[in-house]
């Protein structure tokens, strides 16, 4: 069967097997659309059914999470873990707690994770998990009881050589701590089963910063290839969680001026450049809304609703909140305002139409699976440190992260060029990530 026909057939099978899961369809479509030239060059992939197997998760877990709130009410949420692909190593990927979570979100994230983890060059397969639990407004004790119930079920399926979860939206150091404690108690094992742990009990220095820092490193690398630098540029960032905060920190360290941040209620614009100490205090310590920022910084302006954020003029746009937050209209405004580079800190924040606009207007576009791979990369380094029972310095972990991000940029650029899509890093990242996974699947036989 010719490559294009096979791709269409595989995509139709995905639609049929996974109805009502548009985010998963979107993620698969983007990858498949890049693979025609790879299949033409490697007929063995076609013969061995690599595509058909790649889009079907190895294992999908759905489970009940019963827990009790502070008033004594019994509550029930739904939990998920998709163990998508283990060709390159144990399943690895974050856990998301957000009311919008359903199987289609976890599948899209798990699918992205396969190729992202491949790009890091470390030995990690792809997986993702989560629950439709809303951590907003919950007390620490409620979050703890929820995490304990979640891991009481999940602990049967994970392990340091099997499946290693980490954080994502709504899951940070606090939640990882509660999950780790419960896992340890049930299994009577102190192992590196989760990453993003506290620094005193097995976490890696630089993991907290890794996704945001990595995003800025790869952005700087891409700018350098075009004879430019972040120094002196205006940067617009969305979100105000883990990724957004540390992208802001590194962009500021490199001389960029970050002028926006947001949460799901609205965004702030600070013409003086955002004050990160204030943001960290509000978001990491007090768990408040970004709106509070303007009560402290009088020159800054808060706008209710998120869509206007991309209307703020900037040189660099780094969407770091959530999927499909930047659409075609927003992309056109960014282009009109002279934006020269877009780096996806979040997973799939730009719609396919927005990506088209960037690619057609010579805006450098860094897709999430390359641009935000720094987080899982340092998770991989945390696993390595745990296996050796040692702890690296911040400098060593950060240097490795920088090296990995530079290599991802280089490998993605070269793959794009080799397969006739020079300058298209969506194609380059998908192809470079895919080839390693496909070769491993070929070598491991029909599994
Ligand atoms: P956090 O929970 O720390 O922060 C998420 C931020 O995004 C918050 O500001 C949140 O606002 C905002 N947000 C969440 N959902 C929506 C929504 N539906 N609409 C608008 N804003 C929203 O998560 P992270 O910073 O860890 O994750 C951000 C993105 O980065 C996600 O796409 C995640 O998958 C991706 N990512 C994370 C990595 C990591 O290491 N943490 C690694 C690689 C990618 P609010 O508080 O109002 O919900
Ligand atoms: O999307 C991602 O890469 C993450 N949320 C981080 C996963 C991890 O295992 O560190």
Measured from the Cα of 373, ligand 2's closest atom is 3
Is residue 1 very low, low, confident or very high in pLDDT (cuts 50, 70, 90)?
confident
What is the percent of the chain where pLDDT is above 70?
Answer: 100
**Same domain for 86 and 44:** no
For the segment 319-370, what is each residue's pLDDT rounded down to a tens digit? 999 999 999 999 999 999 999 999 999 999 999 999 999 999 999 999 999 9
Domain assignment present for residue 130? The answer is yes
Domains contained in the chain, number:
3
What local confidence, expressed as pLDDT, does residue 261 receive? 98
By most ligand atoms within 8 Å of CB, the mutation choice from 133, 135, 302, 322 for ligand 1 is: 322
Contact 172, 118 (CB under 8 A): no
Mean pLDDT for the stretch of residues 234-263: 98
**Same domain for 179 and 30:** no
CATH of the domain at 311: 3.40.50.720
How far is the centre of ligand 2, averaged over its atoms, from the C-alpha of 300 (Å)? 32
Maximum Cα–Cα distance for the chain, whole Å? 63
Which pair of tokens denotes residue 115?
């190729």
Of 313, 346, 371, the domain-final residue? 371
Whole-number average pLDDT of the chain: 98
For the segment 119-146, what is each residue's pLDDT rounded down to a tens digit? 999 999 999 999 999 999 999 999 999 9
How far is the centre of ligand 1, averaged over its atoms, from the C-alpha of 3 (Å)? 36
Mean pLDDT for the stretch of residues 396-417: 98
Domain assignment present for residue 378? The answer is no
**Same domain for 312 and 258:** yes
Domain assignment present for residue 316? The answer is yes
Contact 131, 140 (CB under 8 A): no
Domain assignment present for residue 68? The answer is yes
**Same domain for 362 and 228:** yes
CB-based burial label for 318 (10 Å; 0-12, 13-18, 19+): buried
CATH of the domain at 74: 3.40.50.10860
Domain assignment present for residue 181? The answer is yes
What local confidence, expressed as pLDDT, does residue 307 receive? 86
Mean pLDDT for the stretch of residues 10-19: 98
- Which of 45, 30, 27, 48 has the alpha carbon at shortest distance from 113? 27
Closest ligand to Cα 169: 1
| DSSP string over 108-129 | HHHHHHHHHHHHHTSS-EEEEE
**Same domain for 360 and 223:** yes
For the segment 276-333, what is each residue's pLDDT rounded down to a tens digit? 999 999 999 999 999 999 999 999 999 999 989 999 999 999 999 999 999 999 999 9
**Same domain for 150 and 130:** yes
Residue-wise over 31-58: b if at least 16 C-beta within 10 A, else e?
bbebbbebbeebeebbebebbebbbebb
Confidence (pTM): 0.98
What local confidence, expressed as pLDDT, does residue 231 receive? 98
**Same domain for 259 and 232:** yes
| CA–CA gap between residue 239 and residue 120 (Å, rounded) | 24
Give all strands (DSSP E) within 238-379, no chain letters.
Answer: 257-262, 266-269, 301-304, 316-318, 341-343, 364-366
Residue 58: DSSP 8-state: S
CATH of the domain at 20: 1.10.285.10
Looking at the DSSP assignment, which residues form a beta bridge with residue 127? Answer: 83
| CA–CA gap between residue 90 and residue 123 (Å, rounded) | 8
Residues catalogued as catalytic: 128
By most ligand atoms within 8 Å of CB, the mutation choice from 109, 112, 113, 128 for ligand 2 is: 113
| CA–CA gap between residue 377 and residue 374 (Å, rounded) | 5
Residue 100 domain boundaries: 59-189
**Same domain for 66 and 146:** yes
Domain assignment present for residue 376? The answer is no
**Same domain for 105 and 70:** yes
Domain assignment present for residue 447? The answer is no
Residue that the structure tokens 């699976």 belong to? 369
Mean pLDDT for the stretch of residues 43-49: 97
Domain assignment present for residue 194? The answer is no
**Same domain for 367 and 221:** yes
Mean pLDDT for the stretch of residues 412-434: 98
Of residues 2 and 164, more confidently modeled: 164
Q: Which helix (H) or strand (E) holds 292?
A: none
- DSSP three-state, residue 104: helix
How far is the centre of ligand 2, averaged over its atoms, from the C-alpha of 168 (Å)? 6
What local confidence, expressed as pLDDT, does residue 90 receive? 98
Contact 124, 404 (CB under 8 A): no
**Same domain for 225 and 100:** no
């Amino acid at each position: 069967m010719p490559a294009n026909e096979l791709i269409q057939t595989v995509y139709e099978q995905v639609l049929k097997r996974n109805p009502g899961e548009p985010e998963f369809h979107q993620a698969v479509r983007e990858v498949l659309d890049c693979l025609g030239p790879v299949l033409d060059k490697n007929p063995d992939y076609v013969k061995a059914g690599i595509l058909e197997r790649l889009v079907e998760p190895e294992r999908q877990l759905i489970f009940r999470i019963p827990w009790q709130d502070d008033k004594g009410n019994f509550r029930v949420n739904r939990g998920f873990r998709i163990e998508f692909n283990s060709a390159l190593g144990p399943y690895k990927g974050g856990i998301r707690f957000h009311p919008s979570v359903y199987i289609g979100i976890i599948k899209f994230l798990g699918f992205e994770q396969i190729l992202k983890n491949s790009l890091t060059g470390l030995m990690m397969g792809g997986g993702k998990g989560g629950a439709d639990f809303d951590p907003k407004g919950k007390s620490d004790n409620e979050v703890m009881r929820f995490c304990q119930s979640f891991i009481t079920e999940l602990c049967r399926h994970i392990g340091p050589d099997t499946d290693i979860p980490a954080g994502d939206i709504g899951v940070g150091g606090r939640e990882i701590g509660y999950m780790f404690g419960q896992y340890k108690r049930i299994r009577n094992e102190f192992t590196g089963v989760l990453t993003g742990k506290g620094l005193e009990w097995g976490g890696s220095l630089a993991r907290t910063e890794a996704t945001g820092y990595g995003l800025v490193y790869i952005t700087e690398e891409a700018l350098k290839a075009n004879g430019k630098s972040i120094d002196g540029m205006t940067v617009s960032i969305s979100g105000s969680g883990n990724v957004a905060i540390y992208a802001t920190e590194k962009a500021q360290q490199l001389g960029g001026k970050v002028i926006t941040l947001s949460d799901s209620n609205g965004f702030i614009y600070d013409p003086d450049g955002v004050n990160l100490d204030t943001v960290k205090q509000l978001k990491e310590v007090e768990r408040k809304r970004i709106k509070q920022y303007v009560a402290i910084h009088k020159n800054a302006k808060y706008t209710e609703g998120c869509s206007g954020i991309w209307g703020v003029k900037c040189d660099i746009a780094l969407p770091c909140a959530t999927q499909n937050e930047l659409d075609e209209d927003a992309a056109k405004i960014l282009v009109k305002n002279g934006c020269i580079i877009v780096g996806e800190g979040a997973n799939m924040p730009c719609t396919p139409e927005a990506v088209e606009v960037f690619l057609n207007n010579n805006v450098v576009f860094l897709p999430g699976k390359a641009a935000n791979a720094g987080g899982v990369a340092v998770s991989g380094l945390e696993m390595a440190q745990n296996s050796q029972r040692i702890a690296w310095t911040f400098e060593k972990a950060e240097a490795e992260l920088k090296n990995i991000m530079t290599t991802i940029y280089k490998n993605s650029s070269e793959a794009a060029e080799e397969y006739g899509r020079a300058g298209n890093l969506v194609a380059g990242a998908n192809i470079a990530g895919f080839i390693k996974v496909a070769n491993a699947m070929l070598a491991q036989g029909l599994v």
